[in-house]
Amino acid sequence: MAERILDVQNLKIDFHTYAGEVKAIRDVSFHLDRGETLAIVGESGSGKSVTTKSLMGLLANNAKVKGGRVMFHGDDILQYSEKKMQTIRGKDIAMIFQDPMTSLDPTMKIGRQIAEPLMKHKHVDKKKALEQAVEMLRLVGIVNPEERVNDYPHQFSGGQRQRIVIAIALICYPEILIADEPTTALDVTIQAQILDLMKELQQKIETSIIFITHDLGVVAGMADRVAVMYAGEILEYGTVDEIFYNPQHPYTWGLLNSMPTLDSKHLESIPGTPPDLLDPPKGDPFAPRNPYAMKIDTEKKAPFFKVSETHYASTWLLAPGAPKVTPPAEIQRRQKIYAKLKSGELSRTDVANLAE
Amino acid sequence: MRKYLLKRVFYMILTLFLVATITFFLMKLMPGTPFTNQQKMSAAQIAVVNKQYGLDKPIWQQYLSYMLNAAHGDFGTSFQFSNQSVSYLISSRIGASAQLGIQAIIFGVVLGIIVGSFAAINRNTWIDTLCTVLSIIGKSVPNFVLAVLLQYYIALKLNWLPVAGWNGFNYTILPTIALGVGPLAETARFVRTGMVDVLNSDYIELARAKGMSRFGIVYHHALRNSLTPLVTLIGPYTVALMTGSMVIENIFSIPGIGEQFVKSITTNDYPTIMGVTMLFSAGLVLVILLTDIVYGFIDPRIRLAGNEG
C-alpha cells in the first residue's frame, strides 16, 4: 500500500459575498499517495482551484473554511498560522499557476526569482542559490541557462516562462506539486512539451502531483488517478482507466461524451448550467441536468458506492435495486474497451494508441 | 544609449530656447516699466537709465542682444537688487532653495511611499481609511496655511523649533514639512492605488506560494512594480516645489530664489525674471530627462525599448 502523503477529509469552504454565503466546497475528501499524480477534473466554478488554494493556505480573504481537515505529515495544516504555512509553502508544497505571462515578476531577473525559495527555506546564500537556479533552468530545458539566468521575464516566450515557473516550484524539491491548469494558457504544441516535462521531472524529483484541469484529454496521459468534481463536490474517483473506460456517474458520462474524437460528427455538450451554490440543491447537484435522474436524486445525495478497491462513485444508479440504465453509445464503447483491458485482451499501451 | 541621450539633449536646448523666447515677449507685455515706479526720478533721468540698459531700443533688438548674451553665459544685471549681475544673484541664493526643495521632495516621496504601501497592505481596514483621509487633508490644505499653523503651534507655543530664518538644520525642518506634505499626500495615494493593483496580480500570488513573508513580498516584489507610475509624478512635483517654495520662502524668511522671483516680477526686473525662469525651466527639463532614465532602472521592459530607440 502506497504511503498517503496528503489526506483531505470532509473539507467545507464558504465564500462570503454580498449576495450571501456561497458554499463553494461542500464536503470534499480525497487523498494523494507518494509519487502519484492525481487529476482533479471539473468545469469552471466546480471548486477545484479553491480546493487546492486551501491546501496552500492561499484562500482569498472572504473565504472561510467551515470544516474538515487537511492532514500532511500527521498535522492538520488548516490549523496552521500564516507564519507556519510560510515554512511549508514553496518548500514542501509548491504550486504552478495557469498563466505564465502574468505569474512572473516583470522587474526581477528570473534567476533571482528561482533562487528566492532556496534562500528563504534552505538559507542558501545568494551566490549558491543562483548556481542552483542555473542547474534548475537547465533541467527544465532552458537553453544557455548561464546567461539567461540574468534575463527578465519579458525576454522569454510563454512556454519558456511556464518552464521557469516550474523551475521555481521545483527548486526546493517539494513533496507535493500542485499544478492549477498549467497548460490552459499555452498553445497546443507547447502544452504537450510542458506535460512531458512535468512527467519527466516528477520522476527525477520524486514529487507527487495534484493536477487541476478542465481538459480530460490532458488527464489521460498525465494522471494515475482522477477525481471528478462538480458544484463543490467530488462525484466519482478512481484510477485513470476506471474513470475513462468504466465511468459510473452520469456526469462523468457527460464529460467523456463531450470529448471530441476523430469520428465526431458534431460536438456533444451537457445541457443546462451548474447549480447556484448560494443555495445548493439537497440531493445530487447534477440531477437537474441528468437525463438519468431518479426522484431520489433530487431529494438525497447518494453516498459513495464502491465499484472497486480504488473506484467509488456517488450516484444512486449503483444502489442495490436501482433500475438498469443504458449509458450513451460512447460510454458503452469505452466499457467494451475496459472489459478487454480487464481480461488482458488489450494492454495499457494498446489503449493509449487507441486514444491517439 | 549615447545616440538617445544626444537626441534628448538637443530637444532640451530647443525647449529652453522656446521658453526663453516666449517668456521674453510675455514679460514685455506686462504693464509698467522697471523705472516708472520710482517717482523721485524725472522723465529725463528715466530716459537716461532706459538708454543705459538698452530699453529704448525696439523690442526685437532687445531680444536679440539678450539671447546673444545669454548664449555666452551673460544673463545681464539686475535693475533692482543693487545692480548685481543676475548670475551672482542666483548663485548666492540657490543654495537655500535647492536644499529646501531636495529635503522636501525626499521627505514627501519617501514618507509617501511608506504610508501608501502601509495603506495598500491593510486595504479596506480602518488603517487604509485613516491614510486616505489624511492624504486628502494633506493634499487639500494649502502649504502656506500649514506653514502658519506649524509656526504657531510647533515654534511659538511649544518652542521646539525656530519660527523663521535660515541658520542651520533646525531652521529647515518646518519649511520642509510645510513644502513636503503635498507631495507626501499625493505619493501616498498614488502608491496605494498602484500597490493594490500589484498585490492582486498573479506574480504576487506566486511569491506567496513560494512561502515568502508579507514584508518580503512587499519589499522585493510589490514595491518596485508599484513605483513605475510614481516616477512620472516626480517631474510635476519638482515644478510644484519650485513654485510652492516662493510662498514658503516668504513665510519663513528664507533667502532663496523664490522670494527674489516674486519681487522681481512686481518690479519689472526683466533680467532677474528671465534668469530665474530659465533656471526653473532648465531644472524641469533636466528632471524629465532624469526620470526617463530612472524609468529604465526600475522597469527593465522600458530599458530595452530605450536602447533600441
Q: Could you report the per-residue pLDDT of A36-65, keeping only the tens digit for each? A: 999 999 888 888 889 989 999 888 888 999
Q: Could you report the per-residue pLDDT of A166-187, keeping only the tens digit for each? A: 999 999 999 999 999 888 888 8
What letter does residue A176 receive in the DSSP assignment? E
- Smallest CA–CA distance, residue A343 to chain B, in Å, is 45
- DSSP-derived secondary structure for B133-201: HHHHHHHHS-HHHHHHHHIIIIIIIS--S-SS--SSHHHHHHHHHHHHHHHHHHHHHHHHHHHHHHHTS
pLDDT at B33: 73
Question: What residue type is assigned to position B236 of the chain?
Answer: P
- Smallest CA–CA distance, residue B257 to chain A, in Å, is 40
Would you tell me how many other CB atoms lie within 10 Å of the CB of residue A210? 26
**Which region among A244-253, B165-174, B197-206 has the lowest average model confidence (pLDDT)?**
B165-174
Question: What residue type is assigned to position A182 of the chain?
Answer: P
Per the CB < 8 Å rule, is B202 touching A105?
Answer: no
For the whole model, what pTM was predicted? 0.81
Q: Which of B197, B199, B201, B203 to mutate to test the interface with A (most CBs of A within 10 A)?
A: B203
Q: Could you report the per-residue pLDDT of A281-302, keeping only the tens digit for each? A: 888 888 888 888 888 888 888 8
Indicate the helix (H) or strand (E) that contains A200.
helix A188-205
Residue of chain B minimizing CA distance to A93: B209
Residues from chain B that touch A88, judged by Cβ atoms under 8 A, are 211
Residues from chain A that touch B209, judged by Cβ atoms under 8 A, are 56, 58, 89-90, 94-95, 97, 169
Residue of chain B minimizing CA distance to A85: B211
Residues from chain B that touch A103, judged by Cβ atoms under 8 A, are 202-203, 205-206
Cβ(B56)–Cβ(B255) below 8 Å: no
Residue of chain B minimizing CA distance to A109: B300
Cell of A85: 504555512
Per the CB < 8 Å rule, is B210 touching A88?
Answer: no
| Cα gap B30→B23, rounded to integer Å | 11
Q: Higher pLDDT residue, B94 or A71?
A: A71
Residue indicated by cell numbers 475528501:
A29
| Cα gap B267→B263, rounded to integer Å | 6
| Nearest CB to B301; choose among A83, A103, A154 | A154
Q: What is the largest CA-CA distance in chain A?
A: 68
- Smallest CA–CA distance, residue B235 to chain A, in Å, is 22
What domains can be seen in chain B, in order of their start residue?
Answer: 95-257 (1.10.3720.10)
Q: Could you report the per-residue pLDDT of B7-64, keeping only the tens digit for each? A: 888 999 999 999 999 999 998 888 777 776 566 777 788 788 788 777 888 888 888 8
A&B contacts, CB < 8 Å: 79
Q: Where are the domains of chain A?
A: 240-266+286-355
A150 CB within 8 Å of a chain B CB: no
pLDDT at A19 over 90: no
Cell of B284: 524641469
Per the CB < 8 Å rule, is B203 touching A107?
Answer: no
| Cα gap B185→A13, rounded to integer Å | 40
pLDDT at A229: 94
Cβ(A110)–Cβ(A155) below 8 Å: no
Indicate the helix (H) or strand (E) that contains A21.
strand A20-33
Per-residue buried b or exposed e for A136-156, using 16+ beta carbons within 10 Å of the residue's own CB: bbbbbbbeebeebbebbbeeb
